């Protein structure tokens, strides 16, 4: 294997080649959304910009609260979400009497537990629900697709496809977003082109992620505890629980690890364009390192 090929980055576009383009194009198209009612689609330069637009549209006050919920309920929350919300209202990690908006983050491709019933309960209380689907698309939950439960659904195109930029907002509601400058318009157009080209191929990307996650699990399950906060899932990262996090990350410098505040958790990306042989190499590296998992 060539040295340049030994790499597992987070984003798919980093590994996109003409050969991959040809293979992706040959895949069967599918519908990642399965809409049961007419939906409106709004594109932007990224998901953060679209989240800002939704919060601006909702006209919430600084006395209101936005609850940010994640699948794992771990301490880590993306600053793209937390800082954006901080500019509009108080932030909480739990739903309370002053909660006006709940952002449900399907964290790293793991579906929020009992999403259908939970969102239904929130809506009955008059709470606006935003599904953060930055890392997952097309996952079926009891006959409904991810992103179809809340009032708004946000997708990050570079995370769910090889698109180099762009975000997608889907909702039944009319919303007026801020005017884009030329640079943001260019990024948005890149996202639109990427969505049209790659989103119909979502099954191919999801299958690749699941295969890589399952291979890694089967190889290291006897060495390490696997961090899986929920099912179903299309793992964007596979979490490995270890007391030797720094040792693992140092021994695998060709992997772009995911972010976490835990010092005993390593997030390995399941990039579907990364050679599946690399995931066997991960196992060999861990085994050669001795007992570094607990």
Quick: pLDDT tens for 49-100: 999 999 999 999 999 999 999 999 999 999 999 999 999 999 999 999 999 9
* Separation in Å, CA 75 to CA 180, 239, 261: 33, 15, 7
The average pLDDT across 192-216 equals 98
* Separation in Å, CA 199 to CA 25, 94, 192, 193, 269: 11, 33, 10, 10, 20
Confidence at residue 262, expressed as pLDDT on a 0 to 100 scale = 96
Instruction: Count the Cβ atoms, other than its own, within 10 Å of residue 149.
Output: 22
Least confident among 6-20, 33-47, 218-232, 279-293: 279-293
Q: Check for a shared fold between 3-25+202-288 and 40-200.
A: no
* CATH architecture of the domain with range 40-200: 3-Layer(aba) Sandwich (3.40)
**Residue extents of the structural domains in the chain:** 3-25+202-288, 40-200
Instruction: Inform me whether the pLDDT recorded for 2 exceeds 60.
Output: no
Strands 65-70 vs 99-105: parallel, antiparallel or unpaired: parallel
The CATH code of domain 3-25+202-288 reads 3.90.1150.10
Enclosing H/E stretch for 216: helix 202-220
pTM of the full predicted structure? 0.94
Confidence at residue 5, expressed as pLDDT on a 0 to 100 scale = 60
Confidence at residue 1, expressed as pLDDT on a 0 to 100 scale = 35
Instruction: Inform me whether the pLDDT recorded for 40 exceeds 60.
Output: yes
Please provide residue 46's backbone torsions phi and psi, each rounded to the nearest 5 degrees: -165, 170
Q: How far apart are CA 202 and CA 237, in angstroms?
A: 17
């Amino acid at each position: 294997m060539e040295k340049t090929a030994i790499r597992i980055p987070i984003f798919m576009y980093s590994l996109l080649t003409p050969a991959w383009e040809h293979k992706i194009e040959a895949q069967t198209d599918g519908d990642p959304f399965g809409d049961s009612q007419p939906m409106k689609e709004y594109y932007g330069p990224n998901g953060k910009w679209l989240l800002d637009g939704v919060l601006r549209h909702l006209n919430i006050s600084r006395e209101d609260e936005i609850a940010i919920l994640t699948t794992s309920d771990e301490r880590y929350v993306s600053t793209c979400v937390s800082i954006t919300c901080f500019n509009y209202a108080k932030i909480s990690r739990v739903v309370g009497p002053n909660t006006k908006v709940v952002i449900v983050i399907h964290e790293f491709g793991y579906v929020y537990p009992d999403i259908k019933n939970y969102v239904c309960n929130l809506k009955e209380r008059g709470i606006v629900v935003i599904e953060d689907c930055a890392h997952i698309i097309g996952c079926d939950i009891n006959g409904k697709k991810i992103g179809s439960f809340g009032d708004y659904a946000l997708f990050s195109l570079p995370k769910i496809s090889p698109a180099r930029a762009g975000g997608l907002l889907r909702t039944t509601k009319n919303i007026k977003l801020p005017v884009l400058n030329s640079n943001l318009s260019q990024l948005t157009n890149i996202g639109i082109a990427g969505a049209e080209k790659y989103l119909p191929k979502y099954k191919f990307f999801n299958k690749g992620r699941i295969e890589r996650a399952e291979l890694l699990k089967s190889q290291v399950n006897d060495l390490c505890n696997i961090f899986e906060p929920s099912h179903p899932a299309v793992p964007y990262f596979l979490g490995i629980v270890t007391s030797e996090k720094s040792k693992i990350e140092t021994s695998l410098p060709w992997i772009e690890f995911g972010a976490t505040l835990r010092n005993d958790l390593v997030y390995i990306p399941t990039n579907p364009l990364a050679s599946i042989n690399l995931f066997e190499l991960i196992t060999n590296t861990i085994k050669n390192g001795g007992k570094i998992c607990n």
